[in-house]
Every structure is written in structure tokens, then in C-alpha cells.
Structure 1
Amino acid sequence: MEAAGSDLGNVTLIFDRGFDGKDNFEMAWKSPLKIVAAVKRNRKTVREVMDSVELEEFQKSYETSYGECYVYEGGKVDIGEHSWRVVLSYHDSTREKVREKMDEQEEEAEEVLTESLNRLERGGPGRPPTENSVREKLEKILGKRYHCLDWSLDPETKKLHWKWSEEWDRKYELAGILPIITDQKDWTPGRVAKTYFQRKDIEDMFHLTKKALIVPVEPPYVKEDHLIRAHLFLIFVGLLCYQHIKRNLPNTMTDADIKSAMKELDMVIATEDGSLQFKLANVNEETRPLLTAMNLEKYLPE
């Protein structure tokens, strides 16, 4: 970035939760770059902020095609030796999806427990449920939320008890809420959240490019330096090409529309009077907007 002439003090780097680590945040603090990064919800200082907030304290910030975004200014949290500003944010559609998933998990887990209790009480043929067999089913259903269910099984007395912990209720209440830390002091909470979530647009572009949207740059799993450089160069060229094409197309065309149109195109090369002639085949209603926007009519078949 410095070689390209960038003023690092005016650059903001965005990281997802995979960046969350004491050493990484220490390195980021020393850098002139500004940081916007998601952090794990189970960090003690972050968790304290989340446990103290009420849902009605969130303010609507902006609206997107995938839901309204709400934000909350959480003050400062200590990470390592420094204090970072924390903003809590969620999209209502994402929050609803997480809650629907938790509802499904709760229903499925209680079905397993009820069925196991019924089998214990009625006896009969077949192997009776054991603590291990019930646990395996519950862990598969609940995943990382398994610890939120308190249950016990006593085969001798044929008793099976369970209840959902307060943590389950709190997780349900805080469903979809993401803590974001930053050293941007003057930004509004809405701008912090919007900047973080904009990284999805960049990730989508990389996904499209790696899937051979422009040039075939599927990961070749190379290890030598000059091959890695060549691979990254192709990816970068692909991203530039895609951005150039997308900006010339109508806003009504989605990424999926553009990808589909490119797959439809087929170049036909013929020789006429000793010279090469290039023409495009498979021209239809799907591909024509792409050709028109890029002024490629001269390559259309007569």
C-alpha cells in the first residue's frame, strides 16, 4: 500500500472473527492503519457489554436488500493492553434466521428427550436409551449450544429430567447480534457497522472470480513464489475485469445474471481471406445486454 502511494493513516482494514487474537490486535494497534473487526462474543469484556444491553436500546441505522440494520454504541472494551471502541449490530433478517434455527433445535432436542423417556417408561423389545446414546443425539442437534441444556437420565428409576438454562434464553434474546471493534473514534455506530458488512461485497467478488467467471483461476495449490504471484495476478485481473463490466451494466442485472450470461457466450474463430475473424455465438436475450453495454456489437454474427 505504501509503494502504491497510499497514506496508511487514511486506510481502514476490515477483518472477520478469524482475526480475533491478542497478538493480532496488538499488531493492529501499533499500525497507522485504522481497524474495523468483528470479535468473538465469548470474550469476557465484550460479553459484559452484550449482557448489559437491552434490545430496545438498539437504533435503526440503515436498510439493505437483506434487512434493516440496528446498532448500539457499546463504549470501550479492553483487549490485551489497549481499549477499543465496540459497536453491537444486527440485521433483523439475520436475527430472525438465527432464532428460527434455535426454535428448530429446541423442538428436535425435546422430541429426542420425550421419545427417550417414553421408551424408558414402557420398556419392551429393543435396546433401552442410555446416557451416551441420548447425549450423542443431543450434541448432533444442538452443536455448540449443547451446554445450554441441563438434563439427566436415571435408567434404574426410569427418570429423565431436562430444562433449558438461562444462557439459552439469553442467546435467543441476543440472536444475530455481532460485536465489532474499531479505533475509528469519529465514525457513527452506523458507519462502523456498514463498513464491516460491506466486506461481503468483496468476498462475493472473489468467490465469483475464483469460480472462473472471467479467467480460470481455481486454486492450483502452488507453493513456489513465482507461481503464487502469477495466480494472485490472474485473480486481480479477474476482479478488475468484473468490476469494469459490472459498472457498465444495468443495475437490474445481478451477479447471478452476469455469471449466467458469460457462461452462455461462445467465441467462434474463422479464417477469411487469410485473416482471422472473431464472432460471438449464442447471442440471446440473456447475453445481449452484456454485449451492448460493452460495445461488442462488431463481434456479433451477421
Structure 2
Amino acid sequence: MKRNQVRDLLAKPRTAYRSLYTTEQQETIHGFRSKRRVLGVDGVVVVAFNESARKRQARDYERAKERFLATCQSVAAKMSKPHRGRRSTVQSVTERIEDALPPKWRGAFKYRVGATLDQDPPRFTVTGWVEAKREAELKEGFGKTVVFTDRVDWTDEQIVRTYYARSGMEEEFHILKDVLLMPVMPIFHRRDKRIRVHAFLCVVGLLFYRWIQRRVEEATKERVPIEALASRLDRIQVVALARKGSKKVKVVLQKLSTEERQVVEAMHLARFVPN
């Protein structure tokens, strides 16, 4: 169910929740149920709440917010001054801002790109802000999961446990459909043997991501979705530094964010940097 369909349930105070069970990570899951009729089907809506997940989401949100606003300020500072090189356009400036927009929270992050018409080359104004109302709605839903089912005979714990187990499988199917991450389709092979090898490599890649995910979770005590993990890995880069007048080259990791450093430390990636 969409969050805007159950805003009244998400707004209920913590006193409405009761303890359901404790996960393997020693995180307590709370929840409550409410009868609802959805698309002509009578059933129950169970709202589950995880305080640890709320803290993680709130922390990730604040980091994404800080990154977005910092990007807007950085781009605005650069675009307000004349510079050499390829001429910027509204589209190119917009693309730089879009790269800093987190997909799941983009509804709260807004920006405006404008260009002066009386200057050649044109100067650009970039403004970024956060909608307070939308931000409040997002924060109200942090750590909460809404589940609708017609299995009214199930307990709240059964419903929540089943949903969480199913969401893990759905994540894997979603990854195998991702065009850039681990695509099973399209298959550019005609022979059955090669198709089987292609599918096998995709599954091995998925298992490898799961292994990295488990290592990071053990080190940070936080669950990181595979897509977010892949994004962090993609941002980890090395650079070669050479001093003027010296033939020696020093290879170092680029400046890392807190999230990226957690991955580097959990996987001991620094040992692969030659120095």
C-alpha cells in the first residue's frame, strides 16, 4: 500500500504499537493492526515499526539532504563565475543536480536552475531547498512498514515476518532485472549452454553482492540494500598523485564519505591500494 493511503495510521502515536518479536540482530519489532477495505477486499492493515530502522533511515536521509544542498551550493558557486572549457547549458547543470537527488526521497528535495539572457556566455543561478511539509511526512514514516492482507486469521507477527521474508526475495528479483547492476535480460545468446552460463554468472554475482552485504552488516550492525551498497562501491575510487619534479607516484583512496569508509573498512579494501 502507498503511504498516502494510510497517513492516518502512520500518524498514530507510539503508544498504539505493541511488541511483536525480536530479530536475530536483537531489534524489537512493534506493530498494530487495523481493519480496512482495499479495492473491494476486506482485510487488515498491519503497521510494523523498527526503531533501529528509523534511526538508520533518518541518518541516511540527513546525509542525502546534506549532500544535495552542498551540491546545489557548489554548482551555484561555480556557475555564477566565468570559467574556461565547454560551455554549460541548463540541461548540463540540471543533470549535475539530478545526480545528487536520492530517488526514494526526491519528492522532498526541490531545485531551480535559471540562466541570464543578457550575458554571453550566460551565467546560471541554482537554488536548492527542502519542502518542510513533505519532509515531515517522510520522517513520520521512517522505520514503519505497512502491510495489507486478507489473511485476517494470521497474527500480527506472522504477517510481518512473512512480509519481511518476501521483501528479501523481491529485492533479489529486482536486482536481476536491473539493467546496470545484474541484468539477466536481455540475453544475447542463442545456444542453451551459453544461456545457462549467463544465468549462472548472474546468480554468482548476486551471491557475491549478498556476501559483501553480510560482511558490511556484521561490521556496521546496519542493513544496507544491495542497490545502495553497489552505489557506495561505485563511488570508491583511487587516484595516482605525482609531485612536481619527482618520478614517484603515490596511489591513494579518494576522499571517502562515512558510508564509503564503512565499506572499505568492512572489506579491508585498503590492502589492495599499492604503496
TM-score, with length taken from structure 2: 0.49
TM-score, with length taken from structure 1: 0.45
Larger CA Rg, structure 1 vs 2 = 1
